[in-house]
Amino acid sequence: MLKLYCAPNTISTVVVIALNEGVHWEPIRVDVAGGEQTRPEYLKVNPKGRVPVLLTPESALTETGAILEYLGETALPDLLPADPLHRARMREVMYYLGTTMHVNHAHMRRGYRWADQDSSLSDMQAKVSETMAASSAYVEGLIEGPFIFGSSPTLADFYLYTLSTWLERDGVGIEAYPRFAAFKAAMEERPSVKRAIADGFFG
Amino acid sequence: MLKLYCAPNTISTVVVIALNEGVHWEPIRVDVAGGEQTRPEYLKVNPKGRVPVLLTPESALTETGAILEYLGETALPDLLPADPLHRARMREVMYYLGTTMHVNHAHMRRGYRWADQDSSLSDMQAKVSETMAASSAYVEGLIEGPFIFGSSPTLADFYLYTLSTWLERDGVGIEAYPRFAAFKAAMEERPSVKRAIADGFFG
């Protein structure tokens, strides 16, 4: 059985909801708020000190986007588009979310990764509502509705859903982006997301 | 014919060297140093105001990782591993490079994306040598040699090569990481990289 090192309100919830779409799996909860991911025992699992980590029968796999693709190829084929250009479009969204939108958000609480002074961290925090609003406006233009690519979700939708749950605490009201708000609502109708919310992975 | 919006010493050089591996293509040079990517005409091509953009017969595709995968699937099959777990490992490296190592580097000259005060930008710049050294140490542990996964490169190697060329100006000496240094030297023996260097895409 697949196991996932994961924690509420982290990017690992992307993989939680994807797994809930139809994979038999088990969570290994990591106390990220308490810093468990930085301790020697956890660093043996993932030297990068982050969640998620997917334990497969063969190995431990890290990086949200790579784990999603692995699940799409091995267990969740309905979430991986069959056409190469559609797959490319899905990956274009996933890489944007990973390299730009998630990074914008990370400057709220993880600014110490890139700067040392308290004044820098405050400056970064103050700008997050601006950068996350810009990301939301870009995402708004992508969404065909209700899901990113129309009537069915792909792997990218699970990535975007988790980021949508961070907007409020980043100072961005999703209601200013009607397609993005409708996307979030549509995702919250899926049993995979309902189960993750009930299991305490969001909020 | 495929066309690529690209500029020297940017992440678009990843795609330049991948295309040089065996695709008939043509560059559309963007004056990134002069800010061309932020002007209205370019924003019609890519509203994100970044390079690279790959023009295919069907559309304009953005995001380095997504473009690499598209090229692997449609034109450069030797660079895309056949085994799903090996593909997952390749993507694990690509996502790490895109979401962590490239982001570390971006705090040297692009800190204004995430903070406003001059003191914050200086603070960020001062920390780049530390974060890029940490990324180099992580990469050092990944490389089987001479390429990341042994005797043949995958898409991930082209991504890593470009980042290796940024280390010196980020204050990191690659010679402290012998496998990483040997990887860089091996990549520079490839005609694809030699041609990109001759065409002025590096340095």
Q: Which residues of A touch B74 (CB under 8 A)?
A: 84
pLDDT mean values, one per 10 residues, chain A (203 residues):
97 98 98 96 97 95 98 98 96 98 98 98 98 98 98 98 98 98 98 98 93
Residue A98 has its nearest CB partner, among B92, B98, B115, at: B98
Note the pLDDT of residue A34. Answer: 96
Q: What is the pLDDT of residues A104-156, one digit of tens each?
A: 999 999 999 999 999 999 999 999 999 999 999 999 999 999 999 999 999 99
DSSP assignment, residue B150? Answer: B
User: Is A69 close to B47, i.e. CB distance below 8 A?
Assistant: no
Residue A66 has its nearest CB partner, among B66, B67, B88, at: B88
User: Is B70 close to A88, i.e. CB distance below 8 A?
Assistant: yes
Candidates B18, B100, B13, B98; CA nearest to B52 is B13
User: Is B120 close to A116, i.e. CB distance below 8 A?
Assistant: no
Classify residue B134 by burial, with Cβ atoms within 10 Å: 0-12, 13-18, 19+: middle
3-state percent breakdown (helix, strand, coil) of chain B, nearest 5: 60, 10, 30
Note the pLDDT of residue A184. Answer: 98
User: Is A127 close to B119, i.e. CB distance below 8 A?
Assistant: no
Q: Mind listing the domains of chain B with CATH numbers?
A: 2-78 (3.40.30.10), 81-195 (1.20.1050.10)
pLDDT of residue B109 exceeding 90, the answer is yes
Residue of A nearest to B115 (CA): A124
Query: From the CB of residue A58, how many other CB atoms can be counted at a distance below 10 Å?
Result: 8
Note the pLDDT of residue B203. Answer: 84
User: Is B99 close to A104, i.e. CB distance below 8 A?
Assistant: no
Would you state the structure tokens that stand for residue A62, as one six-digit string? 């890290």
Over pLDDT 70: what percentage of chain B? 100
Q: How far apart are CA A50 and CA A37, in angstroms?
A: 6
Does A169 lie at the interface with B, CB-CB under 8 angstroms? no
**Average model confidence (pLDDT) across chain B:** 97
Does A116 lie at the interface with B, CB-CB under 8 angstroms? yes
pLDDT of residue B196 exceeding 90, the answer is yes
Question: What is the nearest CA distance from A99 to chain B, expressed in angstroms?
Answer: 5
Does A115 lie at the interface with B, CB-CB under 8 angstroms? yes
- For residue B150, which phi and psi values (nearest 5 degrees)? 110, -130
Q: Which residues of A touch B85 (CB under 8 A)?
A: 56, 58-59, 70
Note the pLDDT of residue A86. Answer: 97
pLDDT of residue B103 exceeding 90, the answer is yes
In this prediction, the answer to ipTM > 0.95 reads yes
Note the pLDDT of residue A203. Answer: 84
Candidates B176, B93, B98; CA nearest to B134 is B176
Q: Read off the pLDDT of each residue in B106-120 and give the average, rounded to a whole number.
A: 98
Note the pLDDT of residue A148. Answer: 98
Over pLDDT 90: what percentage of chain B? 99
